[in-house]
Structure 1
Amino acid sequence: MNNVRTVSDTKRSFYTLHTRPINSIYRRVVEELMVEMHLNSVNADFSYNPIYALGVVTVFERFMKGYNPQKDTESIFNALVKAIEEEPQVYQQDSQKLQTLAKNLGYQGLIACLAQENYSEKDAELQALLESISTNSKFKYSRLFAIGIFSLLECSNPDLVKDEKQLAEVLQKIATGLNISQDKFSKDLELYRSNLEKMQQTLIVMADILSADRKKREQRSNSSASSKPETSNSETSNPNPSENENSDNTVTTPPSSNPGE
């Protein structure tokens, strides 16, 4: 009897593979995606497909945008996929291939393909995948699969996804063609877009806070530097004692009474 991996097993594997700390604002994103991928992977009806892979890659890239240090994102992504015992290169390659196909098909051709309305040699591989999904009564639908479909639509025509009425009609058509729940499909994408917008707003606020904090530090540093006492270059013995008969023959310049000078 095979033991099913637990969420703890996956998290342990991830943090073994990626050992650098993750910025707090992004840690929740990474762990939620990790748990979602884990739960999908251990489901008996789940099977990998390129559209799902595109959903994973899209979510990671969109929600990790602006991560610093940027070089760590590759390590984090690789650890996420390897933690569920799959290959990150396969996810990346399949995603790139689908995005290229979506651009080549154009949005009308892509929609016809996704809705199972039209067939062509150009999309034979994708068509075979979609047909296997639509005829599989046990197909494991997931939010990441829905996001993969949405990403394909964005690639073919970015303006399409901005038109709410047209997008709703397209999603209904695709859901019908693939035999998936239209209601769940639409709600999952609505939540995804809402969360993405919130994340973008959070990053803008964080950038403003960091910028303001940086300016304050610079101002304090400049103020501190300008308030230090200045010593005259003439801090030497007076070469002509007769010019300063009341002194002890040493001339110094007193600190300025104005610390801002």
Structure 2
Amino acid sequence: MNNVRTVSDTKRTFYNLHTRPINTIYRRVVEELMVEMHLLSVNVDFSYNPIYALGVVTTFDRFMQGYQPERDQESIFNALCQAVEQDPQHYRQDAERLQAIGKSLPVKDLIAWLSQTAHLDRDADLQGHLQAIANNPNFKYSRLFAIGLFSLLENSDPELIKDEKQRTEALKAIANGLNLSDDKLNKDLELYRSNLDKMAQALIVMADMMSAERKKREQRKQQSTTPVAPPTSNE
């Protein structure tokens, strides 16, 4: 008997946990992330690691930026993790820990550590995961893992990731050290950065439309409250 959860099961759980409607522009983001997390969670080669957690948190926080009402963001994130039978606090804690590591290390040291050319005595848990990834020929790579790596670099040196040559070299070194495809890593991150730009543009358009609609409502309100002058007599 096959008891593997389906995408429909995961979606049903999510919408039972988060019952408020999701704004249209963000719904696709939430559902795509949900499906991606679901497909990984049911893959036999997938195993949780803190870099993946950082990728999930970074993706959610970046793409849900500006979501209103703001208080719903936490509910949506919690429901996402719980829908794939994961602990949202575990994701947040691991992400915060790795963000702090990224910010505290010079980027050259971070790249050397991630590419396993140097071992830093900083975080035994992360070191163990890096070694396990490098030594596992069946490691289940994902776009969210790539975003986690990218986020680590971004926290360490935001300027490096803006420089295409330096960024490409850093990702190639990390991919080689962890026995991943640097071509796939770069393609996934190019798509991620492109989607962030598109989302930012969509939010600007949405803000402009909401502003225009607000002005129209105000004009209609003014017109409805403006007293109408009585008709003049022709007599």
User: Taking structure 2 as the reference length, what is the TM-score of the superposition?
Assistant: 0.95
**How many Å apart are 1:256 and its aligned residue?**
7.4
Distance 2:123 2:104 in 1: 10
Unaligned runs of 5+ in 1: 230-254
**How many Å apart are 1:194 and its aligned residue?**
0.4
SS of match in other structure, 1:48: coil
Q: Map residues 152-191 of structure 1 onto 2, 5 A cutoff.
A: 152-191=152-191
**How many Å apart are 1:115 and its aligned residue?**
1.0
**How many Å apart are 1:125 and its aligned residue?**
3.0
SS of match in other structure, 1:46: coil
User: Which residue in 1 is equivalent to 2:132?
Assistant: 132
Instruction: Kindly provide the amino acid, as one letter, of the partner of residue 45 in structure 2.
Output: D
Q: Map residues 218-233 of structure 1 onto 2, 5 A cutoff.
A: 218-229=218-229
- Per-residue CA deviations over 1:3-56 (Å, capped at 9, x if unaligned) read 100000100110111111111111111101000000000000000000000000
Structure number with the higher helix fraction is 2
> Which one has a bigger Cα radius of gyration?
1
Root mean square deviation, CA, Å:
1.3
Matched length = 232
Unaligned runs of 5+ in 2: none
User: Which residue in 1 is equivalent to 2:121?
Assistant: 121
Distance 2:231 2:100 in 1: 69
SS of match in other structure, 2:85: coil
Distance 1:127 1:93 in 2: 17
User: Which residue in 2 is equivalent to 1:55?
Assistant: 55
User: Which residue in 2 is equivalent to 1:204?
Assistant: 204
- Per-residue CA deviations over 1:191-245 (Å, capped at 9, x if unaligned) read 010011100000001001100110111112112212345xxxxxxxxxxxxxxxx
Q: Map residues 57-76 of structure 1 onto 2, 5 A cutoff.
A: 57-76=57-76
% identical aligned pairs: 66
Distance 1:197 1:63 in 2: 10
User: Which residue in 2 is equivalent to 1:42?
Assistant: 42
User: Taking structure 1 as the reference length, what is the TM-score of the superposition?
Assistant: 0.86
User: Which residue in 2 is equivalent to 1:30?
Assistant: 30
